[in-house]
Amino acid sequence: DTAVSQTPKYLVTQMGNDKSIKCEQNLGHDTMYWYKQDSKKFLKIMFSYNNKELIINETVPNRFSPKSPDKAHLNLHINSLELGDSAVYFCASSQGQGLETQYFGPGTRLLVL
Amino acid sequence: AQKITQTQPGMFVQEKEAVTLDCTYDTSDPSYGLFWYKQPSSGEMIFLIYQGSYDQQNATEGRYSLNFQKARKSANLVISASQLGDSAMYFCAMRVTGTSYGKLTFGQGTILTVHP
């Protein structure tokens, strides 16, 4: 009965490759997010979707392309991976765009070699 | 713009004692929410407690309580009766209404170590 799930949990790849991370929530929430946690553990919003519509794009390079096929799924595709993309990527969801609690997935640890 | 500041990079506490993790925030929005998350060494982000800006009473959830001082713009987390399993990184975060569309702004985090 996992609330927010992400696959894969670990991703090791070479520079220049393209990779995707998938996220699914079974909480019935209508808003989903991608956050990036860097090597210093700092967490920063990347994208937010509400009912499949992009509402936040926080100055992320356009090599990153989110896609929401339905409101329970939010995937992240990364083209031409760079060393600096190495980080932990968290998916989260909430019921609404107000002050509701966001619940996080387990994270995907991406290492670009 | 919103800002969260956690000034304690690391904290140590003896098992069974209480500990306070500091968090100050800055926003001009009158409606906001303050959150604490726990990140153990396994990496997941676990929601602990929430305080709304209009809430009259401090939030409590089991051994966790939030010491909310609105005038000082602080939202400190108090963990009572610390357990070894409380050793983790703790993040304070804030959401505001309006054009931020609910994004969470995080502090730098505090690493808590509980000694037996």
| Secondary-structure percent of chain B, ordered helix, strand, coil, rounded to 5 | 5, 50, 45
Q: How many beta carbons lie within 10 A of that of residue B22, not counting itself?
A: 17
Q: Do A99 and B108 touch (CB under 8 A)?
A: no
End-to-end CA distance of chain A: 34
Tens of pLDDT along chain B (116 residues)?
889 999 999 999 999 999 999 999 999 999 999 999 999 999 999 999 999 999 999 999 999 999 999 999 999 999 999 999 999 999 999 998 876 777 899 999 999 999 99
Q: How far is B33 from chain A (nearest CA, A)?
A: 6
The b/e string for A17-56 (b: 16+ C-beta within 10 A; e otherwise) is eebebbbbbeeebbbbbbbbbeeeeebbbbbbbbeeeeeb
Per residue in A24-50, pLDDT (tens digit) is 999 999 999 999 999 999 999 999 999
Q: Do B32 and A99 touch (CB under 8 A)?
A: yes
Q: How many CB pairs under 8 A join A and B?
A: 69
Q: Does B47 touch chain A (CB under 8 A)?
A: yes
Cα(B64)–Cα(B48) distance, integer angstroms: 7
